[in-house]
Structure 1
Amino acid sequence: MKVLIVDDEQHVREGIRLLGEWKENGVSQVLEAESGEQAIQLIEVYKPEIIFTDMKMPEVDGIALLEWIKNNHPTSKSIVVTGYDDYHYMRKAIHFGSMDYILKPIDPGILNDTLVRAVKDWEREEEDRQQHNNSHQLINEMKPIYRDRKLTQLMNNQLLNAAIYKEFGFHLSQQYQVAIIRVDQKAVYAFQRDRDLAYFSILNIVNEMLHEEKCGIAFRYLSNKGEIVVIFWDHFSRVQNMLETMHKNMKKVLEVCCFIASGPVINNLENLMLSYNGAKEVLMNINVLDKNPLKVYTESQINRLAIINLIDYSSHVKEAVQLGQQELFEEIISTISEGFQTHRYLSLKQLLHFEKEYQLMSQQWLKKYEISYIVNEKGEEVVYFFFNDEGCFELQRYMNRKRKEIHLFMKIVKRHAKKQNPDVIYEIEQFLQANFDRDVKLQEISDRFYLSREYISRKFKQEFNENISDYLVKVRMNKAKQLLRNEDLKVYEVANMIGYQDDKYFRKVFKKIEGVTPNEYRTAIRVSTT
């Protein structure tokens, strides 16, 4: 804390300096001024908390100094020290906020009592000021959050109190139009990954223009991540131009490129969501391969192409993974990529859908082989880093990245598959032997053992030198020969027990494999045992 002593007489200044209990009251510095003019200069530099001043001084006197203090440094506590017990001076001192009036010659007790009160008053008022400043700061910080929450409620068909509309400067109108500004992960990275700063900066640019035009308001839409919603209530014919200007200003000032889409004009505040959904539909169907640097879209600028599903290629993916053949995966990626390039149209919806399916497929295969390799589940965030600074999606770079991911993925799966299923084909053999009495389809085996039909057929023939159907017939015939030894069983009963409902067909197959009919085999067995 600092104290300033103002008096044109040096001995008075020295007397106050000597009598004051400065250290005991937390005063670290005592300044002196011999005139009101010099006092003003010192106050502007040092900003003392407590000022002792004489009233009668040449040029700038005590009254003028007190008036200046009240207007320019009102937080300080002023104390008048004068040799004139004059009501005029006292009244002026009170008028300009002086807290006390000390007469010369100065009594040490009175001086220090006044000092103690001045220090305590200043500290109490300073605490109040700090609380007020903190409260004011908190209110200012909360205003955007409050605005975003309330306007999000409005978007979700929760009508607000009339006072809130007025507070935000929201104009009630006969018509409205909604636009969406997409704040993706790449835009957030431009602000050192500070998402709140990104929204704050973009909203500043947008709302400044809307305020000037008096035609709308923008806010962070809390119901959907990554979106700023703009509600227009006027100048609908100029909305497209305004959105384009906003886009240009964001690129110029903030160096970020955000997709912007507008919905239709609606006639009721309760139908804001209709306009929002229209804007959302436009946003999701924009062509990310569009090289136009201006990324502001309306319904007339989009196409709605059928979504290509990676899941439709699941059987090919399965075969590629199980056989460890990356070229099969390459064919799938190339086919899909060529389709996008041929049409020169890749919607944002298609892109996000493709990435989501890819992540889902990867997770399923890793889970199947119990691999603890982490797949990035935030596919949408990954996608946005393949947009260049002009907002155009670099398809070739994205597909090359996918090829690298697939190569790594297949290496990991292949390594774990060998560890997990070294004798899987023999497990399939055991399965066939346990289920010989029913019609086991190759697809059932494929689904059960998570292997492609092609792989199973090829691997089974390599190990047992015959295909699965022939092997299953052999197992059935061996079982039939065991059952035929039981004279109590009819031939048709034996046929049914090994999976043949038609005993005539069973007799035919048995003779083809064994060279004799079931009855002839039974007779031969009977003879050999007698």
Structure 2
Amino acid sequence: MKERLCSVFGTLRQAQYCAAAYIRLEQTSEARRQPSRTSANAAFISACNRTLSASGQGIALRHWNDASFVLLYMWSESANLHSHLKQFALETAHSLQATPSIGISSACSFPKHLRKCGVEAHQALNGINLLHRTANAAVYDEDALPAAVRLHFYDFEDDFRIALLSGSELSVRETVGRWFDEMRKLPGISLGQLEIWNSEIRLMLLRWTEKYGIKDGADIRYELEEAIAAVPFDEQGFFSIEAWQRNLGEIVLSIIKQLNVNEVRSKSIVYEMARYIDHNYNDDLSVQEIAKHFHLSREYASRLFKKETGENLNDYIQKIHMTKAQQLLAGGTLKINEIAQMIGYNDEKYFSKVFKKQFGVSPNRFRKLPPT
């Protein structure tokens, strides 16, 4: 390998060490407004290679699989190479009015550990805290463990789905706001965490487009993929939670516009209401509480449920409660008042009255009946 590279870069014959930088750039708003500007990455690569070609001590390349990243390699006889690499990358980025996030490898033996340099630089970049309002550069530390991701997007997926089906822009923005309120409590956010969250969002959107019959699903998935992949930055080129919050809200709202509104939304939200009741039978549920949970008025929730199922919503809630009570009574070990409390009834007498109305026998009598 070294001989092949030396045929292009003569200075490599004396090189004992190499280092790599994994770089993500974002131009400031002023630079983005220039009418003749090239992309930040293309300008950075060109500027780096103009300088490096003179010394023959490095090369800048577009990442082979992701155009949003640049790889910068340098080689030297000195083991202090990574310090020079960091300074060079920062100065070049700043000259282009670009804000960089840079992951830098340790100085590795050349050419044996050339690939290792790239891996280390990527890991260093993924660990950078994007909340720091400075030009971020980090050198790989083999003792540093990746931060555990304690917040996951799928923890909020049910809330997002309900907001989506409600068709309410206000509900969508409130749900997005709750997610970002939790994010703001985190001590740091890294590019690695963003990649995990974006993967979770992609999976959620894929399920939605398939489940809810979104028109032109393949086209909208491509558009959404582009929107998700773009890391949001502010006017100074720094990562912005506020910009990402606006971006995510627009993504969900764009899906709402693609829904086959009347048929899909009404059937899906009734299914979600029934699922919610089934999973929360131990609570003292009411029509008002369920309507509020799904961002609907009490009257509309009742009318929609009746239209799709032929059953009153209040009757369905009671039926689920009593069916669960039957199952618990059949076990034969719990007291009547314990069962009543387990399905959301604090008054044992009222529970017994409702149970008898539903099945024609009291809970005590039902427990004594032979199994069928």
Provide the TM-score with structure 2 as the length reference. Answer: 0.63
Q: Which has the higher contact order (CA 8 A, sep 6+)?
A: 2
The CA deviation at 1:276 is 1.2
Are 2:154 and 2:200, in contact at CA under 8 Å, matched by a contact in 1? Answer: yes
1:177 and 1:263 in contact (8 A); partners too: yes
Superposition pairs of residues 156-195 of structure 1, within 5 angstroms: 159=1, 162-169=3-10, 171-172=12-13, 173-182=15-24
1:230-262 residue CA offsets vs partner (Å, 9 max, x unmatched)? 33322442533443234323432x443443221
Shift of 1:274: 1.8
Shift of 1:392: 0.8
Cα distance in structure 2, aligned partners of 1:426 and 1:331: 21
CA deviation string 1:331-367 (max 9, x = no partner): 5433432344344522122234334433442342233
2:61 counterpart of 1:225: no
Q: Deviations over 1:95-149 (max 9, x none)?
A: xxxxxxxxxxxxxxxxxxxxxxxxxxxxxxxxxxxxxxxxxxxxxxxxxxxxxxx
Secondary structure of the 1:261 match is: strand
| Secondary structure, counterpart of 2:91 in structure 1 | helix
* 2:312 counterpart residue number: 463
**What's the CA shift for 1:426?**
9.2
2:106 aligns to what SS in structure 1? Answer: strand
Cα distance in structure 1, aligned partners of 2:17 and 2:167: 60
Tell me, yes or no, if the aligned pair for 1:262 and 1:279 is still in contact at 8 Å.
Answer: yes
2:88 alignment partner, one of 245, 248, 253: 245
Question: Paired residue for 2:342?
Answer: none
Counterpart residue number, 1:378: 225
Query: Which residue pairs with 1:280 in the alignment?
Result: 122
Q: Distance in 2 between matches of 1:511 and 1:289?
A: 60
CA distance in 2, matches of 1:299, 1:232: 16
Alignment correspondent of 2:249: 403
Task: Structure 2 unaligned segments of length 5 or more: list them.
Answer: 280-289, 333-351, 367-372
Task: Report SS of the residue matched to 1:306.
Answer: coil
Q: Name the structure 1 match of 2:284.
A: none
Q: CA RMSD in A?
A: 5.0
Per-residue deviation, residues 450-490 of structure 1 (Å, max 9, x unmatched): xx9976x975587254135627979xx9xxxxxxxxxxxxx
Matched length: 313
Matched, 1:513 2:359: yes
Percent of residue pairs bearing the same amino acid type:
17
Aligned to 1:393: 239
CA–CA separation in structure 2 for the residues paired with 1:512 and 1:341: 49
- Within the candidate set 284, 297, 300, 2:138 is matched to 297
| 2:278 paired residue number | 442
Equivalent of residue 357 in structure 1, options 177, 197, 200: 200
Determine helix, strand or coil for the equivalent of 1:232. Answer: strand
Structure 1 residues without counterparts, runs of 5 or longer = 1-158, 432-440, 444-451, 478-499, 519-530
* Cα distance change on mapping 1:247 and 1:463 into 2, 3 Å: same
- Secondary structure (helix, strand or coil) at the match of 2:21 reads strand
| Separation of aligned partners in 2, 1:510 and 1:339 | 46
Q: Distance in 1 between matches of 2:168 and 2:130?
A: 31
Are the equivalent residues in 2 in contact too, given 1:184–1:381 (CA < 8 A)? no
Whole-angstrom CA distance in 2 between matches of 1:295 and 1:240: 14
Specify the alignment match of 1:369 in structure 2: 212
Match of 2:262 in 1: 418
* Structure 2 Cα separation of the partners of residues 465 and 217 of structure 1: 70
Q: Partner of 2:107: helix, strand, or coil?
A: strand
SS in 2 for 1:361: helix
**What CA distance in whole angstroms lies between the structure 1 residues aligned with 2:359 and 2:167?**
37
Cα offset, 1:327, TM superposition: 5.6
